Amino acid sequence: MAKATYKSAGVDLDLYNEAMKRLPRLLGRTQTPRVIRLDQGFAGLFALDFASPLFARRYRDPVLVACTDGVGTKLKVASMMGVHHTVGIDLVAMSVNDALCCGAEPLFFLDYVALPKDDPPLLEQIVRGITDGCLECDCALLGGETAILPDLYAPGDYDLAGFCVGVVERRDVIDGKAIVPGDTVLGLASSGLHSNGYSLARRVVFEMAGLKVGDYVDQLGATVGETLLRPTRIYVRPVRRVLAHYTVKSVVHGIAHITGGGLLENLERILPEGREIVLDRGSWPVPPVFSWIQRLGDIDRNEMERVFNMGIGMVLVVSSFYAESIRHQLAQGGLESWPIGRVHEGPRGVVWSA
């Protein structure tokens, strides 16, 4: 009988080492002057402030903000397509967009990649996408973990988790408490499905409609796979530009990342007692991907609005006086937005207008 080895159990340490050698170059793309080198260390080091006086933040009362999330079953579409870098962008987006809701600047990101077997080219694709996302929001990929788990994942499957740490001055924390009647609700355009609702979307598209990832859909001007793999939009740069523009007045009173639960549930999370948001249907153009999925699955409108973002990936609740100025600033950053509702005095909640 042959002797048991780690390799015979499904983990090839030589192949694992080859995969690890591909990653430092990718991590190096994202490293800022605040990253402290610790070659071969067991953790990543990050200086909260810059050593150089020219770039010093000079925090007075900094608060750290931490977020974690995954990509979900959108990974199944990536495997069907054989395209694995865009889900790395999704992974970063889901966490940094959450951190942004507190007004935070994302500082660094950590990833966790779980694979059924060692696959250096696949791992390199995934991490390249993660670094693409980190570069888009000026966030350092500080490190991560690659786990080879042959008994937990079937061949072709893998899973991703991400962790973001950011910082915000305590006086600048956005927690929704400043939301008052008369505030305007601005909806920021999503890039599509983002990373939510894929269990339903995949069932409708692949099982009920019998479509393949390579099928071209005239209504969408793209293939099924291209549509479903479109990365989650990262809102950090345009929104932080808006926040930096108003250093004295409190103008942005609340921020909500529209993920699972849709507009109603995610907006309600940031509302204080005695505040009600009334949203106006038809106040923004709903991208065709949503009506396409709704038609294929004969999905009720309420179900669509609860599962998907319906074209609004983030919401800013702002002082009405500054709403148009903020929209202009967002547009300069390439981000379309619309006034989609208003804050009223009333029972805490979010409703559609009659």
pLDDT score, position 354: 76
Which contiguous run of DSSP H or E holds residue 147?
strand 140-148
**DSSP output for 274-318:** TEEEEE-TTSSPPPHHHHHHHHHHT--HHHHHHHS-TTEEEEEEE
pLDDT score, position 226: 97
pLDDT score, position 40: 79
pLDDT score, position 6: 77
At 42 the three-state DSSP class reads coil
In 190-300, DSSP assigns E strands to 216-217, 222-223, 252-257, 275-279
| Amino acid at site 172 | D
d(CA 302, CA 255) in angstroms, rounded, equals 23
pLDDT score, position 320: 97
At 140 the three-state DSSP class reads strand
pLDDT score, position 51: 82
pLDDT score, position 24: 86
Closest CA to 201 of 292, 95, 78, 87: 292
Closest CA to 187 of 125, 251, 266, 132: 266
Give tens-digit pLDDT for 23-42.
888 888 999 889 998 887 88
pLDDT score, position 176: 96
**Other Cβ atoms closer than 10 A to 220:** 16
Low-confidence ranges of the chain (pLDDT < 50): none
pTM: predicted TM-score of the whole model, two decimal places: 0.95
What b/e string do you get for 149-167 counting C-beta neighbours within 10 Å, with b at 16 or more? Answer: eeeebeeeebbbbbbbbbb
